[in-house]
Amino acid sequence: MRRFVYCKVVLTTSLVWVLVDVFLLLYFSECNKCDDRKDRSLLPALRAVISRSHEGPGEMGKAVNIPKDDQEKMKELFKINQFNLMASDMIALNRSLPDVRLDGCKTKVYSDDLPNTSIVIVFHNEAWSTLLRTVHSVINRSPRHLLVEVVLVDDASEREFLKKKLENYVRTLEVPVRILRMEQRSGLIRARLRGAAATTGQVITFLDAHCECTVGWLEPLLARIREDRTAVVCPIIDVISDETFEYMAGSDMTYGGFNWKLNFRWYPVPQREMDRRKGDRTLPVRTPTMAGGLFSIDKTYFEEIGSYDPGMDIWGGENLEMSFRWCLTYLHPGFPGTFLHGVCMFSLCMRGFSPGTLASSHSPKIC
C-alpha cells in the first residue's frame, strides 16, 4: 500500500513538472511572435535572468573578494587596465544584476513605434571580460526589435585577443556585431565619428567599453527621442567598484554641471526642477551638461548640429562642447539663457555600468 502511494506521488510530481515545462516552452515561443509590447520588452530580460544561476562570482552585482594568496598577482594584473582584472575575469560575461529602478519605472509601458538604435562602443586595449560583458548586457537586456546592431570601433589595439579571436567570437552572437579598425591611434572622438558614420539605426547610442546595462535600460532613452528628436538622453550612471566589481546604485537626485575651469561636475537637482516634476521622480531631469560617456541621440540630428569636432585629440571636454552645442541650438533668441523643448535633460528610468570607478547605466537623463 505504501509503495502504491509513493508511486502515485512520484507520478503526480513528474506530471506537474512536465506540464510546467510545456507551458514555459509554449509561452516563450508565442512571445517571440506576439505583438504585445510589454511581452516583447520583457523577453530579453527574462531570458537573461533565467540563464543565470545567481550563485557564481559577482552574480546579482555582489562583490568579488580575492583570496589573500592571490593578492600580489591581483595587484600586478590591476596595472594592465587600472581595475581588478582578476575579479573581472572570474565573473560571467552575462552576469545578473539587481533591478534598482524606481517602482514607477518598472511599470511603465512604452509605445510600439519607438525608434530603433545602433550601439557604438570604442575600445583600445580593453580587457576581454569587460568588453564582452558590455556587449552581452546590451544584447541580453535590449528588446530585439529596437536593437539594430552593435558597432565596435577598435582604436588601434595591440592585444592579440582583440583581433581575430574577437572577430570569431562576435560572429556567434544573435545580434549583428561589426568591428571597425582604425588604421592608427586616433582617439575617442575620431573613433566615435567613424562608428557613428557606419551606423544604420535611427538613433545612435554611445556606450563605454566597460559598461553593463541593466533591465529596462533602453526603452526610456528611445521614448524621449520619440517625443522630441532633438532631445539627447543620458542614463543615470550607477557605480561598479574597480576593486571588487560590486554594483552600487547611483543617485537620481544629481545632474550635470561645470565649474569655471570648465570641469564637469555633479550637482544636486535644484528645487525648481523638483517642483517642475511635481514629485514624479520617473520624469526626466533637465540638465545643462552631460558626463558624455553614455548617451543616445537621433542620428540625423547628430549630423545636423555638426556631430563631434574631429580636431579634438585628448579625452575630456567633448561632453561640455557637445552640451553647449545642443543647448545653444535651442536658446530662444529673445530670452538668452532659456532652454526650450527640454533639450538639456536627464531621464530617470534606465541604468547600467563602467569601471574606473566602473559606471552602470539605468535611468535616462536628457541632455
Instruction: Give 126's pLDDT tier (boundaries 50, 70, 90).
Output: very high
Q: Is residue 366 classed as helix, strand or coil in its secondary structure?
A: strand
| DSSP structure class, residue 107 | T
pLDDT at 226 over 90: yes
Nearest alpha-carbon partner for 293 in 236, 242, 350: 236
The Cα-based distances of 342 to 173, 230, 272 in angstroms read 37, 9, 14
User: Using one digit for the tens of pLDDT, what is the confidence trace for 20-72?
Assistant: 665 655 555 444 444 444 444 444 544 544 445 578 999 999 999 999 999 99
Burial class (CB in 10 A: 0-12, 13-18, 19+), 280: exposed
pLDDT over 90, % of the chain:
55
Contact between residue 126 and residue 210 where contact means Cβ atoms under 8 Å apart:
yes
* 93 grid coordinates: 560575461
Q: What is the pLDDT of residue 120?
A: 98
Instruction: Name residue 154's beta-bridge partners.
Output: 123, 181
| DSSP structure class, residue 267 | E
What value does the CA radius of gyration of the chain take, rounded to a whole number of Å? 22
Nearest alpha-carbon partner for 169 in 181, 179, 159: 179
> Would you list the domain boundaries of the chain?
37-63+72-366
User: Using one digit for the tens of pLDDT, what is the confidence trace for 257-289?
Assistant: 888 888 888 889 889 988 998 988 888 888 888
Q: What is the pLDDT of residue 30?
A: 40
Query: CA dihedral defined by 284, 354, 205, 184, rounded to 10 degrees?
Result: 150
Q: What is the pLDDT of residue 331?
A: 54
Q: What is the pLDDT of residue 134?
A: 97
pLDDT at 100 over 50: yes
pLDDT at 156 over 60: yes
**Interval 177-184 mean pLDDT:** 97
Q: What is the pLDDT of residue 262?
A: 84
Instruction: Name residue 232's beta-bridge partners.
Output: 344
pLDDT at 338 over 90: no
Instruction: Give 228's pLDDT tier (boundaries 50, 70, 90).
Output: very high
Nearest-angstrom CA–CA distance, 277 and 273: 6
Q: What is the pLDDT of residue 18?
A: 62
The Cα-based distances of 85 to 28, 70, 73, 80, 258 in angstroms read 36, 12, 10, 8, 32
Given this structure, which CATH class describes domain 37-63+72-366? alpha beta
Query: CA dihedral defined by 282, 361, 261, 342, rounded to 10 degrees?
Result: -30
Average pLDDT, the chain: 82
pLDDT over 70, % of the chain:
75
Nearest alpha-carbon partner for 188 in 289, 312, 80, 298: 312
DSSP string over 195-242 = HHHH--SSEEEEE-SS-EE-TT-SHHHHHHHHH-TT-EEEEEEEEE-T
Nearest-angstrom CA–CA distance, 349 and 367: 15
